[in-house]
Structure 1
Amino acid sequence: MSHIFAALTESMRVLRFCRNGRVPIISRLPDEILLTIFKHFEEEKRLNGYDSHDDEYASDVTGGVPACLVVTHVCRHWRKVALECPTLWTFISSTSLLWLDVMLERSQKAPLVVTYNPFSISLDNCLEKVLLHLPRIKYLELRAHSYNVGRVMNLLSSQPAPMLETFKFSVECNLLPTVSISNTIFQGQAPLLRHLDVDYCNPRWSSCIFGGLRALCVRKTSLPDILSTLRCTPVLEQFMLQLQLPESDQSTLIDRVPLTRLKNIVLDGTSLQNAVSLFEQLALPVDVKIALQLSSIEGPPTFADFFSVMNKHPDGSGPVFRSLRAIKFKPWRFSVQFSTSMEINSDYSWNPQDDDIRLSIQFYYEDDEVRPNGPSAENIIFDICNIIAQRKRRTFFSGEFESINVEGCPDFIEGLTAALRIEG
């Protein structure tokens, strides 16, 4: 019986092969066109969750099967073309040792893109095997449980990373103190590293490993540590700092940290106090774009203090703001934007990425944080517009305002008119 079944299976395989060979489109497409189709197919499958790191259980559901595997089961020609393309097999996130070995073998020496979340990390199996190929990894994204951090750091310090361009590392448990990243990681050799994204980790490298960074995203760190890191990033262009800076007894640096090539700086979820503490330590370019999300503005310092420390250039010059826009989203969220253009988009949104918006400040409160005696939208708009009306901060507001636009909240109007009345 088994012989009959095997014969039928082989007959079906031969028939499928003959049928595929008679299809003109399949048999006549040039190899380069096929490869383009395969790459688009693999990317769509991967990004739509077939083997996605955004889904904790995706790899379990698919058994860790590579997204591109299906194209090798169509016909011999397609299989040959797919297997001869190493870049089709470079996206590593499988938790299956079998398919991991297949991917590593078929990718040959091509640069790898590696992504693992805390639910798929197996230190004794997959991760150790992948990090043996650290010298050819160009993109590395790891999320580890706190109890695995020490072992992960040892693995990351076992070899240099000469091809690494992007490194994202986060610790899953945020109840423990931040993890220190030392100079030993990648053995201090990552010459192509351009993008660093760390969560609950203190980057304390003092070596040249930071020298080529273009983008830096840090969450949960101390002010002295982040300033020390920024001193090692002379060509940094994008900087994002998320969550509040914890209190620190360490003294900050005396000299301002020069970031002469910085294009964008984003502070997300910080207090006005932390924003003032950071900006008074930085010397920023004249054309830098600033986006803030402030979670707390109660008590000192004031907005006058905030604007006074935003000295963006060593010579004291600042950008020319021509317009201001205030918008309100919900009872506990509103924003103020300073634009270089008189033309302000009337869409009801907050868009700090807009090229014309040089400064974006969004204020947000949780419901239980809104206190009757706390700062209101009216008071905030009053404070900001009062600074503009008095024209005392010439290093920051170095031009005449042509347009002020308010949307969604009558308190904005009250604060604005009250501020302007001070000038008579």
Structure 2
Amino acid sequence: MSKKELDICRSEPALIPMAPESPSSDAIPPSTRVRTQEPENAKSMLVEIDGQIDTYRDKLYDLTVKRNALLPITQLPPEILSHIFRICTDMADLDAWEQGEGSSVAELSYIISGCSSHRHEHSRMALNLSHVCHTWRAIARNDALLWTHLPTYSEELCKRMLVRSKRAPLVVRSFVDRDIAALRLALSDVSRIKLLHLSRGSSPNVPRNLFDFLMTPAPILEKLLLFNTAPYTGPAAAMETMPTNIFGGVVPRLSELVIFEGPQLSWTSPLLRSPVLTKLQVGGMINWRSAPLEELLKLLDSMPQLEILSLSHSIPLHVPLPGRFVKMPRLRKISLSDSHDRCLSLLECLSLSPTTAVDIRSSLANVPSIRTNLVSTFQQTKQFFKGVKAVAFDIPTQRVFSKIQLRCWTTDIPDGDVWDPTNCSSLKIQFNFAWPRGAELDPVVIALDACSIVSFTDIDTIAIGVHESAPAELCRNLFHRFIDARTVCLSGTTLNTMLNTILNAPAPDPDCEGPPQRVAFPNVRTLILDTARIRSADLERLKTYFAARSELTLLKLKMCMIRRSLVKKLEELVPEVVWDGRRVDRQSLLHPSFGILDGDVSMDEDGDNTVMLPAHASALGRYDDEP
């Protein structure tokens, strides 16, 4: 049977409803009742049948149009439909800037690097909406705000959307490539651009004349993001300087500036002189690191309205004048990533509100004063820990460096799951410290120092990830710092560490006059085990632990290496057990960390839960190049 005949057979049941009895002779041409016909008769039969199919298709189309005309959505005024279209395009837009709200400049670069130059969801959704029907097409084409996100991967589409957007403000996101015809077209009218994001993407270099397109005034530019936009890579990139007359020196509305691994920004750049600048995120400014710290303090002193400040490998080292302070009353978030002495020297010169969120990521040299420097950091930042409700320590096993991560929240954590990456946006404190492993300084000691200085009280949620080789006595002391915690999250090998330090502890001596030995987390109600390995040998030990905690009502297992048979036995010990049926490999268990991605997850061999991966498909079908 030919493909055309097969298509006819498949389409006949949908086009001609089948009755219970045999069809009448009037419904079928007489010639079709005979299976064996002459070749010339067969050709005429096919022509006749094709004509009937076309007739039924036309009737079906007419009925569909009439039915759609009666749907409630067709009764909405064009203004309401246009507003709905804008909501759809905004939701479909993969706005990496909003995803990185409050992130450090290095994190933001990583988030945006995951975007592809072909993922212009805003413009794709607008095209899809304009293809639903003639009415929607007319409404969409007449709404200029639907066509403001220019697709810089297609010069033809970019040209059409420039026309359809009329004079509305534009959004330009482009992963710069050697072929920049579409980008050149998008930058032909800089005066209309409201948001400009340029990134090198996968191209090894960017065009030398890239900034030649940005020499005209940008009166409505509000956000500027430049990632890896230096014309050269490696040491030569540090020799490139941002043109001092960029945008003609006219950026009166620039409120957010992000530059990472791009041309060097001078202290007198007009981009830093915007009167409404509220967000400054800068990374890889080699010329800043070699300048006096006073230059940076002068710059910050001219930005009293700044709300978010992020500096990555851009902090000067020189000591400022004694008593030099810069007041930043409106700063909501400060993120510093550099050597520890640079971060600390800058922080000492800033007068911040206790409500400011602080993110410090630093490395320390192999000197005897490592612990002293870290203790000084906790003392200097003690004011920012006020009102903390949730605390998380992560101490992974490392061969070269010792590391510790401290995270704190002043808000309630949904379900107490601090390991969930969605809770990162509400962080109040984040410290990441690393030092050479040869310094013989156990990270648990630093965690205990932090607890002693900050004096954590009223902590409702505690999360701890400690490597197996941590000294038992140190771990026991760390656990006892949070005896009031109601939600406890244990990651990696911390479960075994806790069981070893608590269950194997010597029995209390009744003749001892000192205080009785405390148990770990006596008031726990929710226990979350994340990326832990639970074997049959651990079950009996868990029974002993659970038996002494009558208030424990919920046990959550996330990405744990555990057999389903053991899960069923745990369900007999705890009123409620929630298991996601996923697991991670052994390497992840040896190096516990926050936010393990779905790509590292595999199903347990005897589990039946389904891992739901995120889908990035258009809601209205595949992309159509024809607007």
State the partner residue of 2:300.
230
Superposition CA RMSD, Å: 4.4
State the partner residue of 1:106.
164
The answer to whether the aligner puts 1:137 opposite 2:193 as a matched pair is: yes
What TM-score does the superposition give when structure 2 sets the normalisation length? 0.51
Amino acid in the other structure paired with 2:78? D
**For 1:191, which of 242, 246, 252 is the aligned residue?**
252
The residue correspondences of 1:22-171 to structure 2 (distance < 5 A) are: 23=68, 24-25=70-71, 27-43=74-90, 46-47=93-94, 54-56=114-116, 58=118, 66-119=124-177, 122-123=179-180, 125-144=181-200, 147-148=205-206, 150-157=208-215, 159-171=216-228
State the partner residue of 1:20.
65
Q: Give the strand-richer structure, 1 or 2.
A: 1
Aligned length: 378
State the partner residue of 2:405.
335
Say whether the 8 Å CA contact 2:152–2:183 is kept in structure 1.
Answer: no
What is the Cα deviation at residue 338 of structure 1?
A: 5.8
Structure 1 residues 377 and 307, CA gap change in structure 2 (3 angstroms): closer
- Distance across 1 between alignment mates of 2:348 and 2:255: 26
**For 2:345, which of 277, 280, 287 is the aligned residue?**
277
Amino acid in the other structure paired with 1:151? N
Q: Which deviates further from its counterpart, 145-154 or 375-384?
A: 145-154
Say whether the 8 Å CA contact 1:298–1:375 is kept in structure 2.
Answer: no
Say whether the 8 Å CA contact 1:297–1:375 is kept in structure 2.
Answer: no
Identical aligned pairs, as a percentage? 23
- Tell me which structure has the larger Cα radius of gyration: 2
**For 1:200, which of 247, 254, 261 is the aligned residue?**
261
The residue correspondences of 1:271-350 to structure 2 (distance < 5 A) are: 271-296=339-364, 298-299=366-367, 300=369, 302-307=373-378, 318=383, 321=386, 325=391, 327-328=393-394, 330-332=396-398, 334-337=404-407, 347-349=417-419
What is the Cα deviation at residue 168 of structure 1?
A: 0.2
Amino acid in the other structure paired with 2:65? N
TM-superposition CA deviations, 1:299-346 (whole Å, max 9, x none): 3561244356659xxxxxx45736694522632453234666999995
- Distance across 1 between alignment mates of 2:349 and 2:184: 41
Say whether the 8 Å CA contact 1:20–1:27 is kept in structure 2.
Answer: no
- Distance across 2 between alignment mates of 1:371 and 1:85: 61
What is the Cα deviation at residue 153 of structure 1?
A: 2.0
- Distance across 2 between alignment mates of 1:113 and 1:14: 44
What is the Cα deviation at residue 83 of structure 1?
A: 1.2
**For 1:402, which of 440, 457, 461 is the aligned residue?**
457
What is the Cα deviation at residue 161 of structure 1?
A: 1.1
State the partner residue of 2:335.
266
What is the Cα deviation at residue 191 of structure 1?
A: 1.4
What is the Cα deviation at residue 113 of structure 1?
A: 0.8
